[in-house]
Chain A
Amino acid sequence: MSAAADVATLQASFGAKIWETLEFRGEQTVRVELGSLHDVLAKCRNDLGYEMILDVSSLDHFGDQPRFEMVYEIATLDDSKRLRIKAKVSEEETVPSITGLWVGADWHEREVWDMMGIPFSGHPNLKRILMWEGYPYFPLRKDFPLAGRPTDMPDVAFTGVAPLEGGPFVTSCGSDDVAKREPRAHVVK
């Protein structure tokens, strides 16, 4: 069976809970409602043969309601077919963890929690994976500035605000030698 046939199978069994299906250049995308997300993924895993989780990621549609969107990329082990499952998540909602279906989703979901702040229910070890426990922000959200925000956890870590333009950090192109291009480089005599 192809991925397109699997999409038809999912539509037949879940009906209106599947909001939208989309085919773009051979890529199959299925948008489902959050309530049946786990069931859809379980069917893909158990009945349709998608044995591999390629990626779990998230989007921040800042300003829209619901704000977030989960994206799951799944594939069969021989990579003969691939499927993308999406589900919208509002800020108050919790996403069911799929670590019971694919063990490999463990760290992906921790990354989503760490960077985007979407909580998962039923995850065995939901803690931050890149930033440290106690860091108060979710850096990949659209309302978080790239330069960062100052924080301080004594004996653990601190953060500061990075200069994004101007200042002594900016290199100027066009100069002939490195000492002129890089303002903090100077010749030691």
Chain B
Amino acid sequence: MVSPSNNTLHTAYDSKIEGNVIVTRVDAAINWMRKNSLWPMPMGLACCAIELMATASSRFDISRFGMEVMRFSPRQSDVLIVSGTVTYKMALAVKRIWDQMPEPKWCIAMGACASSGGMYRSYATLQGIDKLIPVDVYISGCPPRPEALIEGLLKLQTKIEGEHSMLDQKRSFIEEIA
């Protein structure tokens, strides 16, 4: 049985309404939503993919940051994690998957190979995925530890926080009608 409360209700403050209202900018709200539900497209090409899997699984658990929903369809994903050696034979396939991802999208080059070709200075290996697609975060390591990948994803979150897509759209719209 609940004991009756002695607190009187404040009539000036309606918690039913004001408790659910947050005042913010559209960009801030959108960025907050985007950064907290990053859906990664796992591009597992070599041993870095093993660390990527470890990052997703229970010990390291990127679902703490809302990133656990690995999508194997590029149409449903936000961030391409290039984890591993990109051979020339694979390069255009990676590019194609990147092109299939809808905007807004981000790219993480995970590990030495994806960032710069790594130790593979040879005829068969693309010397860094940034020769084909724009990279937002480079993660060093061979392979990087899951903590490093999480750090990279958090850096990406910080980067997303600073974006102002709506502001830019609004500005160009105003310029258009002026």
Contact = CB atoms under 8 A, between A and B. Distances in A.
Interface of A: 130-132, 137, 139, 144-149, 155-160, 162-164, 168-169, 178-179, 182, 184-185, 188
B89 interface: yes
Contact of B138 (A130, A132, A163, A184): A184
A156 B92 contact: yes
A188 B155 contact: yes
Q: Which 5 A-B pairs have the closest CB atoms?
A: A148-B123, A185-B140, A162-B121, A182-B140, A159-B88
Nearest to B96: A155
Contacts of B121: 146-147, 162-164, 169
Contacts of B155: 188
A160 B117 CA distance: 12
Nearest to B120: A162
Contacts of B85: none
B128 to A, nearest CB: 8
Interface residues of B, number: 24
B105 to A, nearest CB: 19
Contacts of B55: none
A162 B113 CA distance: 13
B124 interface: yes
A12 to B, nearest CB: 46
B31 interface: no
A184 B127 contact: no
A110 B144 CA distance: 35
A168 B130 CA distance: 14
Given A169-B116, A185-B138, A185-B140, A158 B122 contact: no
Nearest to B151: A188
Nearest to B92: A157
Contact of A157 (B88, B117, B131, B158): B88
- Majority DSSP secondary structure for residues of A touching B: loop
A27 B42 CA distance: 47
A130 B122 CA distance: 14
Interface string B81-108: 0000000110110000000000000000
Contact of B117 (A146, A169, A179): A169
A138 to B, nearest CB: 11
A139 to B, nearest CB: 5
B77 interface: no
B132 to A, nearest CB: 10
Contact of A155 (B89, B92, B124, B158): B92
B115 A184 contact: yes
Contact of B125 (A162, A178, A179): A162
A39 B137 CA distance: 59
Contacts of B91: 157-158
Contacts of A144: 123
Given A169-B116, A184-B115, A184-B138, A148 B122 contact: yes
Contacts of A157: 88-89, 91-92
Contacts of A137: 123
A147 B134 CA distance: 24
Contacts of B92: 155-158
A95 to B, nearest CB: 24
